[in-house]
Structure 1
Amino acid sequence: MAYVPGVALLAALVAGCSAGSGADDPAADSKPGSPTVTAAPPGKYRTLPESCSAVPRATLKDLLPGTAGLPAEQQDKVYEGTANVTYDTDRKVGCRWKSDAPDASRNLSVDFERVVSYDPAVSDDDRAREVYAKKEDAAALPAPAPGGKPGGAASAPADGTPSGSPAGTASAEPSAEPSDGPTSAGPDEDLRPRLLGGLGDAAFLDDALARAGSTAQRRTVSVVFRTSNVIVTVQYTEQPALVTEVPDSRELQEKAQALARNLAETLSE
C-alpha cells in the first residue's frame, strides 16, 4: 500500500505529457476568433471551344466572299482556317482566315482567352475584369459626349488613326456610351470606336484605317467582349484592290458585331 501514491504520481505525469503533446499540433496554434479565408469562386468556364470550328461555314462564306469562286478543295482549305500556335488550349486559342478576291482581300481572326486567377482571394471573373479593362484602355476610346448623346459619323483620316466613316464626313461629338440597339447601323449612328451594350458582360468596338504599303488603305474592325472569365477578340480586316477605295466602316462593323454576338451565344449554351 505504500507504493500506491507513487503509482498515482506516475500516472499523473504520463497524463500530463499526453495532454502537452498537442503543442506540436498545428491546430493548437490557431487562435480563437481568427478569420477564416474563403477561396474566391472559380470562373464559369473551365475549357475553351475549338477556335477554327467556332465560326459556322455560312458565316465564313459571308465574311470571305472571294472564296466562293475557288475550286472546292481550295475553298475547304480557306474555311478550315489556320490555328494559332498555343501551348495551353485550356487557356488561349485562336484561328485566322484569309480570302483574296479581285475587288479586295479580307482577313478574319478570332481569339479566346480563359483567365484564371492564382490568388485565392481574387475570383477568375475579377481577374478577367482587370485583363479586359487593360484592353479597353489600350483602345483609347473617345470620351462620352456631354449628356451621353451619341455623336454622328466620324472622319476618316488617312494617317491610320481610329475612324468610323468611310466617306470622311465631318465629325460630331464622339460617344463611348454603350449601344443597346440593333446590330445594323442607322444613318445617324456614331461609327467611332465605342463601348457596346448587350454583348457579354462588357464589350467595345475599335475601328482603325491605315495605309498598307505606300497607297492601299486597310481598315480593321475589332470587337472585344468579356463573358465571365473568358475574353473574346474578333478582328475583321478589308483591303480594297483599288487605291482610290476606302473600306466601308459600317459594313465591317455590322459583320464583326454579328459574329461576336453569335460567339457570345455559343459560349452561353
Structure 2
Amino acid sequence: MAYATGAVLIAALAAGCTDDAGTGGSTPDSKPGIPTVSAAPPGKYRTLPDACRAIPLATLKDLLPGTAELREAQQEKVLEGAATVTYDTDRRIGCRWKSDAPEGTRSIHLDFERVVSYDTSVSDDDRAREVYAKKETAADLPDTSLPPDETPEASPSGSEEADSGTDSGTASESASESESDADAGTDSGTDDDAESADSTDDTTSGSPAESLRPRLLDKLGDSAFLDDALVQAGSTARHRTVSVVFRTSNVIVTVEYTAQPAFSTEVPDSKELQEKAQALARQLVDSFND
C-alpha cells in the first residue's frame, strides 16, 4: 500500500512538470524582456560578373587607343583581355587589357571583390565597409582642405626655412625685379609666353589642379575615391596610373587605368586619364544596378 501511494505521488509530480512545459511557463534559464538576436542579413550580391566581359567593346576601344587600327585577329586578342588568377571566382575576379600604339602604351586592370562576412553578427555590407575603409586609408589621400601648394609634402619644414634666410632675401629681390620688368613691358609678355602660362595654370595651380588631386568621389556607388600616381619606370620612361575604387553594397570594384608615352619627355595627361577612369567606373555602377 505504501508502494502504491509512492507511485501515485511520482506520477502526479511528472504530470505537473509536463503541464508547466506545455503551457510555455518560464524556466530558470529564460530571460524575459531580452529579444532574440537574429543573424545579420546577407549582402545584396551573391555572384560576380565576368570581369573580361564587363566593359563594352566600344568603351575598350576608346580606352585603348590604336586598337581599331590593328588587324582583326590582333584586335580580338587585345579586346578579349586576360583573366587574373584568383582562387575563388565567386569571391574575386579580375581582367587585364593592354594595347601598344605609336604614341605609347595603355592598360586597364579591373578587379571585382565580393565581401562575405563569416560572423553572423556582422552583415556582408558592414564587412565590405571595413574592407573599403582600409583601402581608402592605404591610399593616403591628401587633405583637400589645403591648397595644392600647401600640402604637407610640399610645405618646407621649419628648420629649412630658418637655414634659407639669405636665399629668401635674394628671392624677394628677384621677384621685385621681375615685377618691374613686367611693368616695363619686356619680352616676357609675348602672346606665345602668355599662352604657355595659361596652359600651365590649367594643371598646376588654382582650382583645376586641386580638382585633379587624389580625392574622395561623390555619387559613385555607396562610397568611392580616386588616386593618381606618376611613376618612374626604368631610367627615363614614366607612366601614370589612375585608380578608382568604389563600393556598391558588398562588392568592391577597383579600376586601374595606366598610360606610358612612347617618348620619355612626355608626361601622361592626368585630366584625360581621370575622366576616362571615372566614366568607366560609372558604367560599372550602372551595370550592377541593372
User: Which band: TM-score by shorter chain?
Assistant: 0.7 to 0.9
From the superposition, tell whether residues 106 and 10 of structure 1 become closer, same or farther in structure 2 (CA, over 3 Å).
Answer: same
Q: Which runs of 5+ in 1 are unaligned?
A: 158-165, 174-186
Identity of aligned residues (%): 62
Between 1 and 2, higher relative CO (CA 8 Å, sep ≥ 6) is seen in 2
> Aligned residue for 1:61?
61
> Aligned residue for 2:162?
none
> Aligned residue for 2:77?
77
Q: TM-score, length-normalised on structure 1?
A: 0.79
CA distance in 1, matches of 2:15, 2:46: 48
Alpha-carbon deviation of 1:15? 5.0
For this pair of structures, how many residues does the alignment match?
237
> Aligned residue for 1:161?
none
Contact 2:221 2:285 in 1 (8 A): yes
AA of the residue aligned to 2:234: G
> Aligned residue for 2:31?
32
Moved segments of 4+, more than 2 Å = 5-9, 14-23, 27-30, 32-35, 151-155, 166-173
Alpha-carbon deviation of 1:35? 4.4
> Aligned residue for 1:121?
121
Further displaced range: 47-56 or 60-69: 60-69
Alpha-carbon deviation of 1:9? 2.8
- Root-mean-square deviation (CA, aligned residues, Å) is 2.9
Alpha-carbon deviation of 1:14? 4.1
> Aligned residue for 1:207?
228
Higher CA-based Rg: 2
CA distance in 1, matches of 2:70, 2:54: 22
Contact 2:144 2:210 in 1 (8 A): no
Q: Which runs of 5+ in 2 are unaligned?
A: 154-198
Alpha-carbon deviation of 1:89? 1.2
> Aligned residue for 1:142?
142
> Aligned residue for 1:197?
218
Alignment of 1:127-166 (within 5 A): 127-145=127-145
CA distance in 2, matches of 1:86, 1:44: 22
Contact 1:92 1:111 in 2 (8 A): yes
Q: TM-score, length-normalised on structure 2?
A: 0.74
Alpha-carbon deviation of 1:30? 3.6
From the superposition, tell whether residues 143 and 47 of structure 1 become closer, same or farther in structure 2 (CA, over 3 Å).
Answer: same
From the superposition, tell whether residues 265 and 154 of structure 1 become closer, same or farther in structure 2 (CA, over 3 Å).
Answer: farther
Q: Secondary structure at the match of 1:65?
A: coil
Q: Which has the higher helix share?
A: 2
> Aligned residue for 1:263?
284
Contact 2:92 2:111 in 1 (8 A): yes
Alpha-carbon deviation of 1:170? 4.2
From the superposition, tell whether residues 88 and 200 of structure 1 become closer, same or farther in structure 2 (CA, over 3 Å).
Answer: same
Contact 1:235 1:256 in 2 (8 A): yes
Q: After superposition, give the CA deviation of every residue in 1:120-161 in whole Å (9 maximum; x if it has no partner).
A: 111111111110011001111111316xxxx56999x9xxxx
Q: Secondary structure at the match of 2:283?
A: helix
